[in-house]
């Protein structure tokens, strides 16, 4: 399955990448995505130019364009109510962060490393901590990637 998906992405999307031992199942991907080694992605929708880091686990999630999920993040895994996580465009999620079920992260948001996101994150917000709290709201014109 992984080999077939890797071949299909190489033929269809230039610049896309699925790393060694990464598992991608029941997932729709956009062009120029990158899923790095040993990542697990299940039942997701991934937008244009999205990066999922080493050993990250992402389940039941809709991810927007130009979004980065750093290594060892856990997104939507603790999902007892079967609610999808929604991550907007131009979002950066720091290393080791945990995003709980049903959370919505707005466009242009930054999530600090090691944060635990239990409630929705507003657009342009910078959040960090356990549980995550808003540190500040950034100006509208800042773009993270792309």
pLDDT in tens, 23-51: 999 999 888 899 999 999 999 999 999 99
Over the Cα atoms of the chain, what is R_g?
Answer: 14
Distance CA 12, CA 131 (A): 40
Distance CA 143, CA 146 (A): 8
CB 22 within 8 A of CB 5: no
For 82-107, what is the mean pLDDT?
Answer: 94
Question: CA-CA distances (angstroms) from residue 115 to 19, 98, 134?
Answer: 25, 6, 11
Closest listed residue to residue 138, CA positions, set 116, 99, 107: 107
- Encoding tokens for residue 14? 């230039």
Q: Which residues contact 134 (CB under 8 A, 6 or more apart)?
A: 121, 122, 125, 126, 127
Closest listed residue to residue 62, CA positions, set 82, 46, 80: 46
**What is the value of pTM for the model shown?**
0.86
Using alpha carbons only, give the angle 48, 132, 57 rounded to the nearest 5 degrees: 45
pLDDT of residue 41: 95
Distance CA 38, CA 106 (A): 27
How much is the mean pLDDT over the chain?
87
């Amino acid at each position: 399955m992984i080999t077939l998906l890797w071949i299909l992405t190489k033929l269809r999307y230039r610049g896309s990448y699925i790393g060694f031992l990464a598992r991608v199942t029941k997932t729709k991907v956009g062009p120029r995505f990158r899923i790095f080694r040993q990542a697990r992605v299940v039942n997701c929708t991934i937008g244009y130019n999205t990066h999922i880091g080493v050993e990250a686990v992402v389940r039941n999630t809709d991810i927007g364009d130009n979004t980065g999920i750093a290594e060892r993040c856990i997104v939507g895994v603790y999902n007892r109510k079967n609610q999808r996580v929604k991550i907007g465009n131009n979002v950066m999620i720091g290393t080791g962060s945990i995003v709980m079920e049903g959370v919505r992260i707005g466009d242009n948001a930054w999530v600090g490393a090691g944060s635990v996101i239990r409630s929705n994150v507003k657009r342009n917000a910078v959040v960090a901590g356990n549980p995550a709290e808003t540190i500040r709201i950034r100006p509208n014109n800042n773009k993270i990637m792309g």
